[in-house]
Amino acid sequence: MDTSSRGRWFTFPRVIWLSLLAALVLTLPTVTVGLLSDDYIHLLILEGWPAMGTPSNLFHFAGGDVEKLKRMVDEGPYPWWTLPELKLTFWRPLSSALARGDYQLFGRNPVGWHLHSLVWYLGMVALFGALLRRFLPTALGALALFLFAIDGAHFMVAGWIANRNALVAAVPALFGLWMHLEWRESHRPWALPLSLAGLAVGLMGGETALGVFAYVLAYELLGGRGGVKERVRAIAPAALLGLAYLGMYKLRGFGAYGSGSYVDPVSEPGRFLLAALVRVPVLLSGLVMEVPADLWLAAGLRPVLVGVGLLGLGLLVLLVRAAWPSLSEDERRHCRWLFLGAALSLLPVVATFPSNRLLLVPSIGGSVAVALVLVSAWRSRARGWRPRGIAAGAGVLALMHLVVAPLLWPAMTLALRQLGAQVEPMVQPLHRELDWKRLPQQRVVVLPMPNPTIGLYVPMLMALRGMPKPLSWWQLSLSPEPHELVRTGPASLELSLTRGHFLTSEFEVVFRGTNHPLPRGSRVELEGMRVTVLDADEEGPTRLGFEFDTPLEDPSFVFLGWKDDALRPVPPPPPR
């Protein structure tokens, strides 16, 4: 492969330019995606909209201010079942500062924000290319870089502005890893302070940098030269930096508590390990087989994703083992620590629900593993001795990583553009049909609708369009299951599910984990509304009662329901 005319581009340094070109072609269309979900929140915070976060800490969603959280529940958009002790706050000062810079430069124009993210992604590809050229300069490293550049799992970190923090954390941390290798492999003392500086800056970008620390540890365990004492001394500076960061993180109150989607490995080690048993295989489905781990949101597909991930891992291990004899001893040494680093870097990201956006750092080693299989298969194609099963397995990986992976970029770009195009018409009727003068004195009650998660972001979209903030925003349910709504009195409603349970879907458990249940008889008091769990079992509530402080026909209420493919003002449900 590396000597044929067809493989001339898969040699250094040409492959770096080829990979950068491929990355540019794939990421450039993402500038048309616009704003998504948390992007609305960040933009409004930067404009002074009342929220839990601040311009210097955009990733603070809950925790540390009980009274402010209660107001966010009473007034919305946080839902009524939000755990009072909920904590979701993440230390990402560099990412917040860069977002402030974007706002000052580009205002509300998302194209500039997206171009900024594109530069970070190209920087990630270039840095990884420099590292591979230095320490794995063969066809194996060249193909690994190209696979990394076109990896469809990277779409969200490059195409979703709010998730840019993963790149802001990974790029300087990857530089830190490169400098650590320069220090250890080439005995360059000046590289050690640069390594620590890169790792420290990465931690200021976000928790994603912890995954790069896993590669530093893996190198000293399986790749570093010297005896045990030398390796312990070598890992000590990075280890002390990491421990200092974790200590500061906990002492300053950052982390997660009470959420079912986010699990703190320090304060909840048991839950974290149980979550990892399921989440790691799902992430492997994206890492090895290019099956989007985001399909986790469809609860019925989770067993399938676990199966695909485990089968993919088994296939990859079998193929790597078959290809292993074709490597030089130096290639084996570097592959060992890269593979271990990929495995260890999965552990920090399973603290939240599976998504391809979490695979940026694990794919550093993952791309090398897939490249090893493909390079070995290419080199031995003419000899004819390879078992058909091995050849077929390599063919599957080639199909997924060379064909499906780049196709995921335009597919996801189109899907998110269509989502944005669908959301806009849903909000337009509210812009026209709500009484702007009365809205600040009105309580908005959002009835169940086909896509309940839209209701979480509608208040932000309304604010972005200059509409006044309502007195309260109460969404009765975020469950994706079919609902039955009946009116049980002049000022009361009853809501039940025809199947499934409330407070069990991914977007519901963000605000309250299933380990903080609301059993039958539980009551939640809001300012103007009381919610009672009328029926529940061990899995969760199945029937809810809502009592309001005035009859539903009172002009202080605005009911929003799904009508003509949009969210519109509707009359309150009629008495039964």
Phi (first) and psi of residue 211, to 5 degrees? -65, -30
pLDDT, position 391: 84
Q: Taking residues 268-279, report their average pLDDT.
A: 91
- Is the overall model pTM greater than 0.75, yes or no? yes
Rounded Cα–Cα distance for residues 281 and 173 (Å): 26
Taking residues 56-61, report their average pLDDT: 94
Distances (CA, A) of 544 to 475, 522, 540: 13, 10, 11
Amino acid making up residue 337: W
Residue 540 and residue 556 in contact, taking contact as beta carbons nearer than 8 Å: no
The CB density around residue 392, as the number of other CB atoms within 10 Å, is 11
- Beta bridge partner(s), residue 483: 497
Using DSSP, state whether 87 is helix, strand or coil.
strand
DSSP code at position 549: S
Residues constituting the chain? 576
H or E segment and range at residue 208 = none
> Measuring CA to CA, which residue among 517, 153, 194, 477 is closest to residue 342?
153
Provide the percentage of residues in the chain whose pLDDT is more than 70.
Answer: 97
Among 15-29, 202-216, 220-234, 419-433, which stretch is predicted with the lowest mean pLDDT?
419-433
Q: What span, in angstroms and rounded, lies between the C-alpha atoms of 79 and 190?
A: 52
The full DSSP string for 364-425 is: HHHHHHHHHHHHHHHHTTTT--S-HHHHHHHHHHHIIIIIIHHHHHHHHHHHHHHHHHHHHH
pLDDT tens column, 499-534: 999 999 999 999 999 999 999 999 999 999 999 999
Residue 3 predicted with pLDDT over 50: no
Cα distances (Å, whole numbers) of residue 167 to 98, 238, 303: 12, 20, 30
- Bridge partners of 566, per DSSP, are 563
| CA distance linking residue 190 with residue 197, whole number of Å | 12
